[in-house]
Amino acid sequence: MSSSLQNKGNRLPASVVPFRRHEPGTQPEYLYPAYRATRRRAPSQPLIFLPHTLSEVTGPIFVHSDIHPNDNDLTVQHPGEPLGERIVVSGRVMDGDGRPVSNSLVEIWQANAAGRYAHAKDNHAAPLDPNFTGTGRTLTDANGFYRFVTIKPGAYPWRNHENAWRPAHIHFSLFGPAFVTRLVTQMYFPGDPLFAYDPILQSVPDERTRQRLISKFDLETTKPEWALSYRFNIVLRGREATLFEG
Amino acid sequence: MDLTPTPSQTVGPYLHLGLTDTGSVPCIAGKGVKGERVWLTFRVLDGDSVPVPDAMIELWQADSEGNYKGTEGHGNSTVDGSFRGFGRMPTAEDGSCSFETVKPGPVPGPGDTIQAPHINVSIMARGLLKRLSTRAYFAGEPGNASDPVLALIPENRRPTLLAQPDPTRAGGWIFEVRLCGEGETVFFDV
């Protein structure tokens, strides 16, 4: 065992800069009974606090060869154009200190304009669109910016409770620089009347932080005669201050 | 500017569309990557011991010498080019999924400690509003006794983090994830 450890040079645990912990109320708890599926899936024991080691502060790296040319334009992945309202969704991925998270994988998936996923298990009685899969993938640029072209997704029913409907949303998956910066979330659209009735959005206790999940209509990046635009900035965890940062 | 990290939301039941239909990574270490080749099977069960057919497992591990990909600058640059360290699979109807990889080497821990070979595990699913994080260690590994992370866990719950040899396959290991209730797996606040 020791022979492989002896030549690790300066890769010592002292160089591990931990990531900051979340403030109370800014993330959902596992158990949120109004979201029924949490009841049989949320852990019942308290989590074990894990001080960060090399295993937590490192993480997978994705490169441009992981991305295909049309992966960030969900409207050109089929022979015809999908039905619905074409939109641009763009934003910036930053860490908790406002620094850009560059060259980082962003994956999205969503329902079509009618509120139906191109997924074998979605049996909502709304039409599928042969020209829309609803899958996108991109890397953030050097300044942390990403951009997708897509179709505004529809709301859909989901049987969580009597007359339950999900507000329109796009699923976002991000990695950031470390195992502990992994984030999967959902982006909503401003002014949706379903917000108050949606236990998934409401599971975020802190009202102000919850609002962070709602994108902003962005006239500035709207493309005239072509597509409206929404901006969705994402913040991943930042590192604890080090001596070097003063 | 508010820089509170963005809250997590569930991956929902259709995660496959965005994450695993074209983004699955069942092989973490390609042919030729040195190390002891292992096949690691996960099985995810809910609070009623019912298999969870719509979860996703992601793995992050060091290579057989204990180096994480991307940390070459920190010292010894031995991470093989075709070793990615990352795996991702959806669970099937029986709640299981399998990965091919090499057994990770020991990794430095806090102070002078050494972490026993382990694989970092993320579990996401419908009904999980944020990911669950755990570690898969290998049963019978001598280093487990002095592992600083296992030492944080009450002794009676430590076995939940031990992958067990698969009696049906040489090099096979099985790691059962029990989300809640009897025999609940230890999950970490990372």
What's the pLDDT band for B70 if we cut at 50, 70, 90? confident
Q: Which of B98, B136, B132, B99 is nearest to B117 (CA)?
A: B136
Percent of chain A with pLDDT over 70: 92
Structure tokens given for A132: 């829309």
What domains are defined for chain B?
A: 16-178 (2.60.130.10)
Q: What is the ipTM of this complex?
A: 0.95
Whether A156 is a known active-site residue: answer yes
Q: How far apart are CA A108 and CA B80, in angstroms?
A: 30
Q: Across all residues in chain A, what is the average pLDDT?
A: 93
Residues 6+ positions from B169 with CB-CB distance below 8 Å: B39
Element (H, E) at B42: strand B37-45
Interface of B with A in 118-137 (CB under 8 A): 118, 120, 122, 124-133, 135
B81 touches chain A (CB under 8 A): no
Q: How far apart are CA B49 and CA A41, in angstroms?
A: 10
B27 touches chain A (CB under 8 A): no
Q: Phi first, then psi: what are they for B119, rounded to 5°? A: -120, 130
- What integer pLDDT is reported at residue A6 of this predicted model? 39
- Measure A132 CA to nearest chain B CA, in Å: 12
The string of pLDDT tens digits covering residues A203-217 is 999 999 999 999 999
* Chain B residues with beta carbon closer than 8 angstroms to that of A22: 5
Interface of A with B in 76-115 (CB under 8 A): 94, 96-98, 107-109
Q: pTM of the full predicted structure?
A: 0.94
- What integer pLDDT is reported at residue A60 of this predicted model? 95
Whether A39 is a known active-site residue: answer no
Is the CB of residue A156 less than 8 Å from the CB of residue A126?
yes
Residues making up chain B, counted from first to last: 190
The torsion angle over the Cα atoms of residues B45, B50, B55 and B60, rounded to 10 degrees, is: 10
What domains are defined for chain A?
A: 1-19+30-58 (no CATH), 59-235 (2.60.130.10)
Q: How far apart are CA A128 and CA A133, in angstroms?
A: 9
The residue-averaged pLDDT of A36-59 equals 97
- What integer pLDDT is reported at residue B82 of this predicted model? 82
Percent of chain A with pLDDT over 90: 89
A57 touches chain B (CB under 8 A): no
Distance of CA A109 to the CA centre of its chain: 10
The torsion angle over the Cα atoms of residues A161, B91, A30 and A137, rounded to 10 degrees, is: -90
The string of pLDDT tens digits covering residues A113-148 is 999 999 999 999 999 999 999 999 999 999 999 999
- What integer pLDDT is reported at residue B88 of this predicted model? 98
- What integer pLDDT is reported at residue B71 of this predicted model? 80
Chain A interface test: which of B49, B54, B133, B190 (most A C-beta within 10 Å): B190
Element (H, E) at A92: strand A86-95
The string of pLDDT tens digits covering residues B144-167 is 999 999 999 999 999 999 999 999
Is the CB of residue A37 less than 8 Å from the CB of residue B134?
no
Is the CB of residue A43 less than 8 Å from the CB of residue B127?
no
Flag whether pLDDT at B77 surpasses 90: no
Contacts A–B by Cβ distance under 8 A? 262
- What integer pLDDT is reported at residue A115 of this predicted model? 98
Catalytic residue chosen out of the listed positions A171, A182, A212, A231 = A171
